[in-house]
Amino acid sequence: MKELKELIQDHLDSLFSLDLNQVAQVLQINPSYLSREFSRHFEDMNYGDYIRVKRIERAEELILTSDYSLTEIAYLTGFSDQSHFTRIFKQVKGCTPTIFKKNQNKSKIDTKGKYPSSLR
């Protein structure tokens, strides 16, 4: 399972998609067995759901730490277009990427209601 996590992370970081059959081939195990066992070791999610969640987590990082547009973030995290990215983001996080970004900007206000010097 450790090797599988590393393989998935490597492919998420490099923008390459890796389907379950390819993963099974690399790990030299039966795809059906991998599919059955996957959810037992990965937060009760199937392979596809797990990959989508990891891509959204990476998108969150980019929203918070970069100046990329949402279209660029969609591409960088492996989504075919911004509307697909927005739909999956909302499904996973409960809000759109735009609302997520606005809420994060609001949270930068300190407890006295003043903006940090970096936002002035």
Per residue in 17-56, pLDDT (tens digit) is 678 888 899 899 999 999 999 988 888 899 989 989 999 9
User: Which residue type is seen at 67?
Assistant: D
In percent, the amount of the chain with pLDDT more than 70 equals 85
50 within domain boundaries: yes
- Exposure of 2 in the CB half-sphere (CA atoms within 13 A): 0
pLDDT-based confidence at residue 105 (cuts at 50, 70, 90): confident
Q: Give the total number of structural domains in the chain.
A: 1
CATH of the domain at 76: 1.10.10.60
With residue 65 as reference, give the H or E element that holds it: helix 47-65
Please name the amino acid found at residue 111.
T
- Over residues 7-16, the mean pLDDT reads 70
Q: Is residue 112 part of a domain?
A: no
Does the pLDDT value for residue 80 go beyond 60?
A: yes
For the chain, the first-to-last Cα distance in angstroms comes to 47
Residue 89: domain span: 2-107
The tokens describing 103, both together, are 């809420």
pLDDT for 13: 66
